Amino acid sequence: MPERTGPPALDVVYPRAERSEADILMPRVDSTFTFGSVNPPSSSLRINGVPVKVWTNGAFLAFVPLDTVTSQFSFLTVSPGGDTTRKALPFRLMSEARSKGFVTTHPLNQRLPARINITQDGAASRSAPGHAYVQFPPRGTVALADSFAAGCYRIRLANGRHAWIEEKFASLDTTYRDIPVVSVSTMAVRAQDRWTAIEIPLSLPIPFAIAEKPEVGMLEVELFGAVSRLNRMDYDPVDSLVWEIRWQQAEDNLLRLQLFLNSSRIWGYKAFWAVDSTTGRATLTLNIRRPPYIERRPLKGRIIVLDPGHGGSQPGSVGPTRLAEKEPNLNLAVMLKERLEERGAIVFLTRSADSTVELNDRVDFAVNHNAEALLSLHNNALSDGENPFITHGSGVYYYQPHSLDLAQTLRRYLLKGTGLRDNGLYYQNLALCRPTEMPAILIESAFIMHPDEEMLLRDDRFLSRTASSLAEGLEDYFDREK
């Protein structure tokens, strides 16, 4: 950064200086962070009266008391020659948190109970409106809704078990006011190229849930509204993945299937409905990914999709000197792709330029390329009120149980490559961690809002070390399948 003469230049990146007073909302916390840069870097800086460190490149990061008396951030920077620059950023406090309860007096309740049909891909049901996801019913699923609140239908699954699904994902069918009940009489196992398919013919596409039991090499499928009349299961003689299917009528209308696998790992799965448009009969197909054949070079032939987070009109987080997250995300992905290809892997990028790619399109890209591992590459930032001098470094996120091993393995290698503080391993329902078709994780290499770590993200040597270490981690992960 060239030295400036005269009054110092002050660039406040966060909170965003271009916002109006009405737009800058701050949580009701004692202290919060602010960051940006000053020029010349040898200038001193005070924020809300507190002396703040300025890094050699002019960046600053501060965790300061929130001044609720003046309701503003006050910045004062003084150059070595005594010239000063002042800036005040007014804010207003967020309103007190409202009750998270909800009422059930919506007029739609007068039309319930009734059946609903899932009409969109990407639907998700929750434990309560606005709460955690519990299931991802595919398009075509039919369920009984018994109440409506907060923009969501409550669907009845089994005795004492319900889930909530947003109205936008479903259409109401008041022709039927009972829970859909079907019988299951046959099942078939079919070996395919990279998958083993479990086919379950039914008269209606009822709700279901899939739970992973990796400790015993098993997938458990619950069919809500199903009664067993199973007297035949067809196993494929050339299939080596599914060694047994057991069933249990857990409740009157709840059929539980246990699929025991000849694999030390679950490599991915996908469930979907095939509905006959003439008869309305449905077949639930559960595709289970077969373990890859690992050669002497563990990554040879492995299909890996790398997702450089953000891009185009979506810059992601921004550092104190205005490095946009999308840039190091892509730089790291390109370097990692080279390292993996040197080891024989087949690698695809969800974006290879500064382009905008929506989240669902990134997931679809990985699924359509039959990825055996999906890594979404990011750099982190914090929410208002968190202390950035305590929380920073490298971290990894996962969601599906079968992705945990990949997350744990790459976390070790990530820390080896970055040399940064261990920011931990996290379970979180993120879009790029949610796919079931392959192990999928999200990597936060560094905190771009921290001046030291932003400087590293501008350094190709740091990105190269990180890429090399992640490639070693993937090699180790697949090598353990031998």
Which DSSP letter does residue 2 get? P
Q: Is the pLDDT of residue 20 over 60?
A: no
> Which pLDDT score is estimated for 99?
44
Residues 214-239 pLDDT 10s: 888 899 999 999 999 999 999 999 99
Partners of residue 251 on adjacent β-strands: 254
- What is the Cα–Cα distance from 327 to 354, expressed in whole angstroms? 8
Mean pLDDT over each residue of the chain, to the nearest integer: 94
> Which residue type does 437 have?
E
Which of 93, 127, 148 is the last residue in one of the domains? Answer: 93
Phi–psi pair at 29, nearest 5 degrees: -125, 160
- What is the Cα–Cα distance from 174 to 171, expressed in whole angstroms? 10
Regarding whether 470 and 346 lie in a shared domain, the answer is yes
Residues 157-202 pLDDT 10s: 999 999 999 999 999 999 999 989 999 999 999 999 899 999 999 9
Choose between 70 and 95: higher pLDDT: 70
Strands 440-447 and 50-52: unpaired
Domain range enclosing 273 = 182-289
CA atoms 39, 45, 47, 51: torsion sign: positive
Residues 430-447 pLDDT 10s: 999 999 999 999 999 999
| Dihedral, CA of residue 48, residue 50, residue 51 and residue 54, to nearest 10 | -50
pTM: 0.93
Q: Is the pLDDT of residue 41 over 60?
A: yes
Share of the chain above pLDDT 70, in %: 96
Q: Do 211 and 219 contact (CB within 8 A), yes or no?
A: yes
CA atoms within 13 A of residue 77's CA, in its CB half-sphere: 26
Task: Look at the chain and report how many structural domains it folds into.
Answer: 4
Regarding whether 321 and 198 lie in a shared domain, the answer is no
Residues 49-59 pLDDT 10s: 999 999 999 99
> Which pLDDT score is estimated for 101?
55
The tokens describing 73, both together, are 């951030």
Residues 352-391 pLDDT 10s: 999 999 999 999 999 999 999 999 999 999 999 999 999 9
* Residue 99 belongs to some domain of the structure: no
Strands 84-90 and 72-78: antiparallel
Residues 384-417 pLDDT 10s: 999 999 999 999 999 999 999 999 999 999 999 9
- What is the Cα–Cα distance from 90 to 19, expressed in whole angstroms? 10
Which DSSP letter does residue 351 get? -
Regarding whether 460 and 324 lie in a shared domain, the answer is yes
- Please choose, from the candidates 372, 368, 370, 376, the residue with its C-alpha nearest in 3D space to the C-alpha of residue 351: 376
Regarding whether 443 and 307 lie in a shared domain, the answer is yes
Regarding whether 318 and 411 lie in a shared domain, the answer is yes
Residues 247-302 pLDDT 10s: 999 999 999 999 999 998 999 999 999 888 888 789 999 999 999 999 999 999 99
- Please choose, from the candidates 263, 240, 305, 294, the residue with its C-alpha nearest in 3D space to the C-alpha of residue 402: 263
- Under the banding of pLDDT at 50, 70 and 90, the label for residue 102 is low
Regarding whether 469 and 399 lie in a shared domain, the answer is yes
> Which pLDDT score is estimated for 17?
54
* Residue 100 belongs to some domain of the structure: no
> Which residue type does 482 have?
K
- The edge-to-edge listing of strands for the beta sheet with 195-202 is 226-234, 182-191, 195-202, 282-289, 269-275
* Residue 314 belongs to some domain of the structure: yes
Regarding whether 329 and 464 lie in a shared domain, the answer is yes
What angle do the packed helices 404-418 and 460-479 form, to 10 degrees? 150
